[in-house]
Structure 1
C-alpha cells in the first residue's frame, strides 16, 4: 500500500527543505509521490493503479501519497496546480513531475526511464 506523507514524514523520507536549499533526496530507493485530493475523480482512478504498482515493485520503489487539501504547504512547495500530479524521484538526479491520471503502462515506462527501475519479472 502507498504510504501517506505529512510535512514531518516528507522531511524525513524525501527532502528536508528546512535544512537544505538544493534538492537532496533522503530516500534509499526511487520514489513516486501522488499529490491528490479526496474529491478528485481522476485521483480515484489512479489510486488502484498505484496500489497494484506498490505491490508489484515492492522493495524497488517507494510509493507515497500527499493529500493536497491537508498538506497545503507541501503542495505549494511543488507548485501543484492540478491533480493528480505525480512526482517521480530517482535516487540520483532531479525529480520530474507529470500531471493527470496516467495509465499503468505509462507509470511502468516512467519507472524504467526516469527512475531506472525495470519491470519485475
Structure 2
C-alpha cells in the first residue's frame, strides 16, 4: 500500500508534466514585459531626439493614449495601459525618497489628483 503523500507526489509529477505554464513564469513574463515597455520607451525617446516634430507632439501629450500616438508615429507599438502600469511599477519599486521625488517631478494639479484618488477608492 502506498502512502497518501507518495500518491500525491506522483499525481503532482504527472500534473506538472502536463502543465505548459507555471505560476513562476508569471514573474518572468511580467519582468519581460517591463523590459519590453522600457525598451520601447527608450526607442521613443531616441526617435524624439532626432525628430523635432515628434518632440513637439510628445511635449504636448497629456495622456497615455497621446504618448502612444506619438510612439506609433515613430513606428513603435505601445499600449496606453502599458505606459501607465510601467510608471506605477517604477514608483512602487523605487525607494520612498525616489518615489516621492519622481512623483513630484510630474507637477500634478493637487486638486485634480486628490479628487481622482478619492474617486478611485
What range is the shorter-chain TM-score in?
under 0.3
More strand by share: 1
Higher relative contact order (CA 8 A, sep 6+): 1
Greater C-alpha radius of gyration: 2
More helix by share: 2
